[in-house]
Amino acid sequence: MSDILQSLNPVQKEAASCTEGPLLILAGAGSGKTRVLTHRIAYLIEEKGVNPWNIMAITFTNKAAQEMRDRVDRLVEFGAESIWVATFHSSCVRILRRYIDRLGYDNHFTIYDTDDQKSVIRKAVKELDLDPKQYREGPLLGVISAAKNEMIEPQDFETQAGGDFRICQEAKIYKAYQKTLIDNNAVDFDDLLLLTVRLLRENRDILEAYQERLRYIMVDEYQDTNSVQFELIRLLSGKYHNLCVVGDDDQSIYKFRGADITNILSFEETFPGAKVVKLEQNYRSTNNILEAANSVIANNAHRKEKHLWSENGEGKEVSFIHYETAYGEAEDVIDKIQTSVHMGKYQYQDCAILYRTNAQSRAFEEKCIKKSVPYRLVGGVNFYQRQEIKDILAYLKTIDSGRDDLSVTRIVNVPKRGIGQVTLNKLAVYASEHGMRLFQAMEQAEQIPGIGKAADKIKGFVNQIMVFRALAKELDAAELIESILEQTGYLEELEKLEEDKAQAKQENLDEFQNKAADYYANHDEAALTDFLEEVALVADIDNMDSEADSLTLMTLHSAKGLEFPVVYMTGMEEGLFPSYMSMNSGDPGDIEEERRLCYVGITRAMQQLTLTAAKQRMVHGNIQYSAISRFVKELPQEKLDWKEETFGGLFKKGPSMTANSLSGSLFGGSSSMSSGSSFSASQGSQTAKKTNYDNVFDLKYAKAFSSPKPDSLDYKEGDRVSHIKFGKGTVLAVEDMKKDYQVTVEFDTAGVKKLFAGFAKLKKI
């Protein structure tokens, strides 16, 4: 065997030295796939005498391409610069810059970014005389992108509409959009792939030239390829068939971006005679962590069998902690990390907190700030720096006093009211000359020379703030936020964004409402000013990110490809992880993708893994009871260190308290616990008190909702109702409690919820 492969283990050597014909390298998490790929390139050059310019390595990100380039440069003595190492998109740009004229474009084409694309969409909608509120830029771009990823061009899209009016209109928009791009000699990012495939299909000489040039092709992260990427690779490798793809179907978590897991699952059928090599030795984690990962992912039906193992020893047991509340979860996790650092066991940079949605970061960020724990937020903006949160905070500050000119300026056109910058400048000059704040000047807008017709728009804004000031005397901050979102049209504006962006912003706004409701629950006689002072204290995060030794907070999607000695996977609850959307989609594949995401999270941990869940979590300002995630039940229970929190503290589970014995009340498809669910936890002879959830709900959270109790409800058990967040549902029960009516509703898509009537504002259908 070549000296260049001596540092590899036997299976890695097998993969690196298999150079002819199609090869699938199934690379489990932490198994050294990049090492194998780069050594395979070096082996081709040094041992097989392959010319460096005959080798192509495709990655998904520029960072991955640069890392591969750097490693190859260190391994290959001569000619490394001639190896084609690039991303899919940059590879296509390289080809199109040379040959796109064959498709009727000029070779000096322009690549449109998202803002350019939105402008083109607006133009198309206007030209077609369609309602821009019905045909929004974000969703339309999503439709067009999905079509291009499936290689469906405008004329084919229209043919497939099948008489559906909406799809027919989208087809017209797609056609007009593409015509504008062509007229401007422009392409979008999806075109880079689609046009390259079309170029190779329609021009045999170009295809053969690249097939001859790129005799050995390697593709990293193959499980994340979509249809057009697959076709590009199939075409380029069509002559010599020396295609090596590296990936892990168990880490396919980007379906929402168009990734098609069947590309890797059907590789052997697509490329007959393909060899498969499994990299199962993990160099990252201990065996207890790997057994947890193996046990969870084994529940997916559509996967290629593999079993991770390590020479790193058994290691610590995987832990699961079940907290009473999400507040307690955040508090204790940060405490545990801070204690381990103070004891010298770890540094902050060794630890990561993972969660399913960006909105979950808020509680952990606040605890970090209060306890002076340095942290960095990966893949997102600090909670209180997110645009939507700053917008609503600006509304609250303006409602509270109107003395903050920056806040007034921020929201005067959010959503758009047609008040231009020239008008704002005149208002600012008037305010300065008369020694008043900007909002006071707005109150006198009709008296300001040169304001003209804009005075009516300014008056509308001022009147709306005055209405909110009156409401602020009657509502708590959570209810006031909801009123702002509805009455200003802010939520309606969000709907114009791409679906995933709109959902993320909505989740953040929900979490901000949760913050407000939680604050009022724990502070008697709280006022809006007090709440804003609290937010100002916990939002002082300007310097938190600058610390070199920092705790990492990130979503599970952002964590892919990273590793940490200590990992906390939080929010392990049905409805949160797996998400409600995946649970109610009707597609079993969606739950399987959530399980793969769980697998990714588990395999980020090197030495210590702790999973956590909360029995009670505030969602959209309402307390929700959730069952423990099914993924916790799928862990090897005999090796799981399980602790339950009660009001008396944390208790380690006794022999009888296993996942299976608790499954009736804690697990399963239900998104909420039924009233009165209880269990006991023991340590030796000590038994934790039974937890009656109705009592917990009443005593701890009733004061969170300051709406007066209605005299009666216009709906009853069995009636159909609607909720602004959860949609339509059926009333299961109505309970007359001291502070309010507690209504149990089974929503069509969100499951069973217990809500306070005064806050939930349910409407009878």
Backbone angles phi, psi at 325, to 5 degrees: -135, 160
How far apart, in whole angstroms, are the C-alpha atoms of residue 552 and residue 549? 10
How far apart, in whole angstroms, are the C-alpha atoms of residue 341 and residue 348? 6
User: Token pair 């100002």 is at which residue?
Assistant: 536
Q: What is residue 705's three-state secondary structure?
A: coil
Catalytic site residue 71?
no
Whether 589 has a binding-site annotation, put simply, is no
How far apart, in whole angstroms, are the C-alpha atoms of residue 296 and residue 631? 6
Whether 21 has a binding-site annotation, put simply, is no
- Bridge partner list, 567: 352, 609
Inter-CA distances, 599 with 296, 519, 604, 614, Å? 7, 35, 9, 20
Inter-CA distances, 401 with 460, 534, 585, Å? 18, 16, 45
Catalytic site residue 215?
no
Whether 33 has a binding-site annotation, put simply, is yes
Whether 402 has a binding-site annotation, put simply, is no
**Out of 13, 14, 33, 617, which one is annotated catalytic?**
33
CB 324 within 8 A of CB 616: yes
- Bridge partner list, 304: none
Whether 678 has a binding-site annotation, put simply, is no
**Out of 191, 221, 331, 476, which one is annotated catalytic?**
221
CB 745 within 8 A of CB 723: yes
Token pair recorded at residue 2: 């070549």
Catalytic site residue 499?
no
CB 740 within 8 A of CB 702: yes
How far apart, in whole angstroms, are the C-alpha atoms of residue 603 and residue 255? 20
Whether 31 has a binding-site annotation, put simply, is yes
As separate numbers, helices (DSSP H) first and strands (DSSP E) second, the chain gives 32, 24
Whether 668 has a binding-site annotation, put simply, is no
Catalytic site residue 129?
no
Q: Could you write out the DSSP letters of every residue in 346-377?
A: --GGGEEEEESSGGGHHHHHHHHHHTT--EEE
**Out of 34, 87, 262, 440, which one is annotated catalytic?**
34
CB 86 within 8 A of CB 58: yes
Q: What is residue 624's three-state secondary structure?
A: strand
User: Token pair 């109702």 is at which residue?
Assistant: 721
How far apart, in whole angstroms, are the C-alpha atoms of residue 486 and residue 296? 41
Catalytic site residue 500?
no
CB 409 within 8 A of CB 419: no
- Smallest CA-to-CA distance from 520 within 326, 704, 699 is with 704
Catalytic site residue 447?
no
**Out of 220, 317, 365, 388, which one is annotated catalytic?**
220
User: For residue 636, is the peptide bond before it cis, meaning its omega torsion is within 30 degrees of 0?
Assistant: no
How far apart, in whole angstroms, are the C-alpha atoms of residue 556 and residue 601? 6
How far apart, in whole angstroms, are the C-alpha atoms of residue 409 and residue 667? 49
**Out of 38, 180, 251, 616, which one is annotated catalytic?**
251
Q: Please, which residues have CB within 8 angstroms of residue 379's CB and are 6 or more apart in sequence?
A: 358, 554, 555, 557, 558
**Out of 172, 306, 604, 615, which one is annotated catalytic?**
604
In this structure, the number of other CB atoms found within 10 A of the CB of residue 159 comes to 10
Whether 313 has a binding-site annotation, put simply, is no
Q: Could you write out the DSSP letters of every residue in 429-440?
A: HHHHHTT--HHH
Amino acid at 14: E
Q: What is residue 555's three-state secondary structure?
A: strand
Q: Which residues are catalytic?
A: 33-34, 220-221, 251, 604
Q: Which residues are annotated as a binding site?
A: 27-34
Q: Which residues are annotated as a binding site for ATP?
A: 27-34
